[in-house]
Amino acid sequence: MNLVLENLSKQFRGTGRAVTAVNGIDLTAAEGEFLVLVGPSGCGKSTVLNLVAGLERPDSGSVRCGGQVFASAEDHVFLPPGDRNVAMVFQSYALYPHMTVFENVAFPLRVSGKKLADIAPAVREAARMLNIESILTRRPAELSGGQRQRVAIARALVRRPSVFLLDEPLSNLDAQLRTSTRGELKRLQGGSRHYHSIRHSRPD
């Protein structure tokens, strides 16, 4: 399943002026490919991720994954984020502060209607992969930056997404954590699962 962005454009209407964030971009990510978008801040990287995730609607062009059309401006198709099986890790991790780590990771499964009996093993599997089994009962406020990021990744992984998006995953970490996280992401990506990840970071 390839991820194809075709002639994708998005404009934002601010007060008065219109800003073109993404201008007719064409992009193809093959299955299992680890794609990195690099560029200075403000060049539209987050917007591309948002378009793939379904948090924004394209003004023109289309986003396709495999045979499925996620969004197409010309054909007036728009699949909401929940139906796309796309997972995203935000720059600020966006962990739900009132839930424990376990509940955070379990949330995507819970809202898709899975039974509790099915949820627990999946959560534990994701926790094992990210090495966060020991903190499952803690709240996000009690965690360090590196731990939060791993929880966010676990939450994204637990749904077995077909597309895996990471928004500036390294910018909040210190130098040492950055190196080890890069390694971990490579390790996860090299696993048996087929998924794409678009990751972008500023040139270090």
Interface residues with another protein (CB under 8 A)? 53-55, 80-83, 86-88, 90, 92, 94, 96-98, 107-108, 110-112, 155, 159
Beta strands in 14-158 (DSSP E): 18-29, 34-36, 60-65, 68-72, 77-78, 86-89
The total number of residues written for the chain in this structure: 204
Tell me whether residue 94 or residue 177 sits nearer to another protein (CB atom): 94
CB of 102 to another protein, least distance (A): 14
Nearest CA among 78, 88, 75 for reference residue 56? 78
Handedness of CA 48, 54, 57, 59 (dihedral sign): positive
The least distance separating another protein from the CB of residue 85, rounded to whole angstroms, comes to 8
Beta carbon nearer to another protein, 35 or 99: 99
**Rounded to whole angstroms, how far apart are CA atoms 110 and 119?**
7
7 vs 59, beta carbon nearer another protein: 59
Q: In the complex, what is the shortest distance from the CB of residue 137 to another protein, in angstroms, rounded to a whole number?
A: 18
Closest approach of another protein to the CB of residue 83, in Å: 8
